[in-house]
């Protein structure tokens, strides 16, 4: 077990990151590598890159971080001008190599590779139908369902193939597809998961977030609209509406936590959005205190905003060890029980004798937050007022975020006063849905707010299995049984 997995047990889990690109030089794999590196926060279980030299598709993927999966020798063995890439956190299918992406398939136009971010809610039904028709699957990932649907119609042209997929699948998806001659990107009709297009030198790229463009000296130019597709090849970048737009429903958690703070969404820099969330939090839940401190690193922008709006000084109160973030050495039971102490060290001189406002982005199970509150009191804080920029998470996500089942969510099991007592905090305040949306400078009807209010923009069946394909002994851990959830909860 990864030490970090236990420490992140009170965090919603990242989804996946996808990229697709064309470069005039034969170095698409190298560009893809650095773009994926910038999307590493979206998934740390596996990584993969597929390239095309105009006739053949070559691919390399493995378990682990981007920097572990690829080296100079591997990249030199992937020549080509077209590429797609993927970094994965499993939400459907086991965390095993055969579920790593891109997904490779053969088609009438040649080999193709598919990278997918999101989650299909009708994957099991579609798979059963396709298996009855003679289709054979090699993985337990819903992404292979998308890949094999594309294969069926790709000979009809990109737009018809994508339209055919969108007509059958239900759920959240941002997808990049590599064919021998082109890269295709498309986004679900609700736009739940992000996808942005732009330029890279004399070439073109599509990626989950705009932050992927900077490391490769690229420029993001526009977000794909819900239901929109883009085709990238040596002739340029072309857009088409492959499916009618449903109500735009971008995941609000992208703004709160998932996406990098240097990314732009809905035209806004996310760092600024999170600062405004902190300002709104100070307005909604003021308190007399001596210092505002963030939970590093995700709570920093909101803590700055809270401090600015409240007039309470901002100080760093904890230092985060960035080198325990991913370790392949499992801690023994004694070290595991130390919990957040392996990750966070308090600056007691900034805390002792102080009334502290602790700002963080979210509470899921409340286990990690409880440990942090305890650390601050042990460091000498006289009061700890917890302030959270995400509204109370009361409902599970079916669109590609592993947040735990409803029975595991603190806000679904306890009232806010009960959560405060459970944390051992002096007070607890959550930002309201209205306050969170206001900080984005967009309207509430442009977001998926289902994990906060239970209103799912894409209809969800009454019973959606956490592993829609049936757990198999050799598969190990599945989406609903992540390593962190199987770890001892402190």
Q: Give me the domains of the chain, ranges plus CATH numbers.
A: 3-249 (3.60.20.10), 269-445 (3.40.50.2020)
Q: 3-state class of 195 per DSSP?
A: coil
Report how far apart, in Å, the C-alpha atoms of 204 and of each of 213, 283, 321, 411 are.
10, 43, 37, 44
Residue from 16, 105, 397, 420 carrying the catalytic annotation: 16
Alpha-carbon separation of residue 206 from 14, 50, 98, 228 (angstroms): 19, 15, 25, 12
Known active-site residue 16: yes
**Is 183 within 8 Å of 234 (Cβ atoms)?**
no
Question: How many other C-beta atoms are found inside a 10 Å radius of the C-beta of residue 69?
Answer: 20
Helix (H) or strand (E) holding 305: helix 300-310
From first to last of its 490 residues, the chain has per-residue pLDDT tens of: 333 333 344 555 556 999 999 999 889 999 999 999 999 999 888 999 999 999 899 999 999 899 999 999 999 999 999 999 999 775 544 555 667 889 998 888 889 999 999 999 999 999 999 999 988 888 777 888 999 999 999 889 988 999 999 999 999 999 999 999 999 999 999 999 999 999 999 999 999 999 999 999 999 999 999 999 999 999 999 999 999 999 999 999 999 999 999 999 999 999 999 999 999 999 999 999 999 999 998 999 999 999 999 999 999 999 988 765 544 455 565 565 566 787 899 999 999 999 999 999 999 989 889 999 999 999 999 999 999 999 999 999 889 887 667 888 999 999 999 999 999 999 999 999 999 999 999 999 999 999 999 999 998 876 555 444 444 333 322 232 222 222 222 2
Taking the CA of residue 376 as centre, how many other CA atoms within 13 Å lie in the half-sphere pointing to its CB? 32
Three-state SS at 159: helix
* DSSP annotation of 312: P
Tokens 């190990």, located at residue: 476
Residue of 227, 221, 295, 296 lying closest to 264 (CA atoms): 221
Phi, psi dihedral angles at 160 (to 5 degrees): -70, -35
pTM: 0.88
């Amino acid at each position: 077990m990864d030490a970090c997995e236990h420490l992140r047990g009170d965090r919603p889990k990242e989804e996946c990151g996808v990229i697709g690109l064309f470069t005039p030089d034969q170095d698409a794999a190298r560009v893809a590598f650095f773009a994926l590196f910038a999307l590493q926060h979206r998934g740390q279980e596996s990584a993969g890159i597929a390239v095309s030299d105009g006739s053949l598709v070559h691919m390399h993927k493995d378990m682990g971080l981007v920097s572990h999966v690829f080296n100079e020798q591997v990249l030199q063995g992937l020549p080509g001008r077209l590429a797609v890439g993927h970094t994965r956190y499993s939400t459907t299918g086991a965390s095993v190599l055969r579920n790593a992406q891109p997904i490779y398939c053969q088609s009438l136009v040649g080999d193709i590779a598919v990278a997918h971010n999101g989650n299909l809610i009708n994957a099991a039904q579609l798979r059963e139908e396709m298996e009855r028709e003679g289709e054979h699957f090699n993985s337990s990932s819903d992404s292979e369902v998308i890949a094999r649907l594309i294969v069926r119609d790709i000979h009809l042209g990109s737009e018809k193939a994508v339209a055919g997929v969108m007509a059958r699948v239900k759920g959240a998806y941002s997808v990049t597809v590599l064919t021998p001659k082109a890269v295709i990107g498309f986004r679900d009709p609700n736009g739940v998961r992000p996808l942005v297009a732009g330029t890279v030198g004399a070439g073109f790229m599509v990626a989950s977030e705009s932050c992927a463009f900077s490391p490769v000296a690229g420029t993001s130019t526009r977000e794909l609209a819900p239901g929109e597709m883009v085709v990238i090849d040596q002739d340029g970048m072309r857009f088409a509406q492959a499916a009618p737009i449903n109500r735009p429903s971008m995941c609000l958690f992208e703004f709160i936590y998932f996406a990098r703070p240097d990314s732009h969404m809905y035209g806004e820099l996310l760092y600024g959005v999170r600062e405004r969330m902190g300002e709104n939090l100070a307005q909604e839940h003021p308190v007399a205190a001596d210092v505002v401190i963030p939970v590093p690193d995700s709570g920093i922008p909101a803590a700055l905003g809270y401090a600015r709006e409240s007039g309470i000084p901002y100080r760093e109160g904890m230092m985060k060890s960035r080198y325990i973030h991913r370790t392949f050495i499992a801690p023994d039971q004694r070290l595991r029980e130390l919990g957040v102490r392996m990750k966070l060290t308090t600056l007691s001189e900034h805390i002792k004798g102080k009334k502290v406002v602790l700002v963080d982005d979210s509470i899921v199970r409340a286990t990690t937050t409880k440990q942090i509150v305890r650390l601050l009191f042990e460091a000498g804080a006289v009061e700890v007022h917890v302030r959270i920029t995400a509204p109370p998470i009361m409902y599970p996500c079916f669109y590609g975020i592993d947040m735990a089942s409803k029975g595991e969510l603190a806000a679904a099991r306890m009232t806010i006063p009960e959560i405060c007592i459970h944390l051992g905090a002096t007070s607890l305040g959550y930002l309201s849905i209205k306050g969170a949306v206001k900080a984005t400078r967009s309207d509430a009807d442009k977001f998926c707010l289902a994990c906060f209010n239970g209103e799912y923009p894409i209809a969800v069946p009454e019973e959606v299995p956490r592993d829609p394909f049936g757990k198999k002994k050799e598969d190990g851990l599945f989406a609903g049984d992540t390593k962190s959830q199987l770890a001892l909860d402190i």
